[in-house]
């Protein structure tokens, strides 16, 4: 059956990208009826593209009614959340719950303390503005930290992370969550919806970039056949920078003390609320 022929589903995924590679298998396992959209309609999905500047409800007629609507793509600034929710509800009625996948970068980057879902955040951030708007409409926001799993491999991110020792020096705490746990968080929210609530989703660990860089370098040596010579050389260069910084900053061992890592995320509340815990409790 083509997804666009379904009149009503439990969960509608607006934007079937990386997250859906973990979510769709879980929905099938859980017996949750779903439909999904992509801009092209590939892989038996519904063709749909959100135009934030359009008030035309016609494209929303192709979408099925759903108990829960998941928005995986970024909504930004004033008006976009109201636009997409309003146009969808003009066709399918008001009885639907909305989940937005948001970002933890809205939380105070200058703080050297812990951030929870109730902590101060940047109200001028375009993602935060859209999240607030969705919350006012009764939606739920899942603020995700560093996403990994499948095609997302953190040890391959070093070239984007820094270009020099000075760049590495600026790196403190980092947080991750596996795609499978993102999917579990979405399903848990679908089953027990948190109206007007924002949550932080992490694997409950705080990682030290210095420590990770050293680990990535060691992994490259262990997997010599799998890693290219260029890749191993790059990771060794990063490891040398960390070693130099440890001497310069008088760091006796890794990971560094929590007090010097900057902002740290406390994601316990979501998992406690739903009575589950991450399946991937540490970076693999």
**251 part of a folded domain:** no
**22 part of a folded domain:** yes
pLDDT of residue 3: 44
Q: Which two tokens stand for residue 242?
A: 């960390």
Q: Which two tokens stand for residue 238?
A: 């990063």
pLDDT of residue 151: 93
- Name residues of the chain where pLDDT drops below 70: 1-6, 220-227
Contact 83, 71 (CB under 8 A): no
CATH number at residue 24: 3.40.50.720
pTM above 0.85, yes or no: yes
Burial label for 82, CB within 10 Å (0-12, 13-18, 19+), is middle
**148 part of a folded domain:** yes
Domain carrying residue 31: 3-153+175-205+263-274
**159 part of a folded domain:** no
DSSP state at residue 153: -
DSSP state at residue 96: -
Q: Which two tokens stand for residue 40?
A: 């092209």
pLDDT of residue 229: 81
DSSP state at residue 235: H
Total structural domains within the chain: 1
**43 part of a folded domain:** yes
Q: What is the pLDDT of residues 2-54, one digit of tens each?
A: 444 467 999 999 999 999 999 999 999 999 999 999 999 999 999 999 999 99
Helix axes 229-248 and 209-222, enclosed angle (nearest 10): 140
């Amino acid at each position: 059956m083509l997804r666009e022929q379904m009149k009503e589903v439990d969960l509608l995924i607006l934007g079937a990208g990386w997250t859906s590679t973990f979510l769709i298998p879980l929905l099938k396992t859980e017996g949750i009826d779903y439909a999904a959209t992509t801009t092209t309609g590939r892989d038996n999905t519904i063709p749909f593209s959100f135009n934030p500047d359009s008030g035309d409800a016609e494209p929303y007629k192709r979408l099925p009614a759903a108990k829960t609507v998941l928005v995986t793509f970024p909504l930004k600034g004033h008006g976009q959340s109201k636009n997409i929710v309003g146009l969808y509800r003009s066709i399918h009625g008001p009885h639907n719950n909305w989940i937005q996948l948001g970002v933890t970068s809205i939380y105070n980057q200058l703080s050297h303390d812990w951030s929870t879902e109730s902590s101060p955040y940047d109200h001028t951030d375009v993602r935060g503005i859209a999240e607030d708007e969705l919350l006012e409409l009764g939606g739920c926001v899942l603020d995700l930290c560093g996403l990994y799993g499948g095609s997302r491999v953190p040890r391959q991110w070093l070239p984007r992370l820094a270009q020099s020792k000075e760049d590495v020096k600026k790196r403190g705490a980092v947080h991750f969550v596996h795609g499978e746990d993102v999917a579990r968080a979405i399903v848990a929210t679908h089953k027990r919806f948190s109206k007007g609530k924002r949550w932080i989703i992490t694997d409950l660990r705080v990682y030290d970039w210095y420590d990770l860089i050293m680990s990535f370098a060691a992994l490259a040596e262990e997997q010599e056949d799998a890693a290219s010579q260029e890749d191993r050389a790059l990771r060794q260069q990063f490891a040398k920078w960390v070693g130099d910084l440890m001497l310069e900053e008088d760091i006796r061992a890794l990971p560094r003390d929590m007090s010097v890592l900057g902002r740290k995320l406390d994601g316990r509340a979501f998992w406690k609320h739903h009575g589950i815990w991450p399946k991937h409790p540490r970076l693999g």
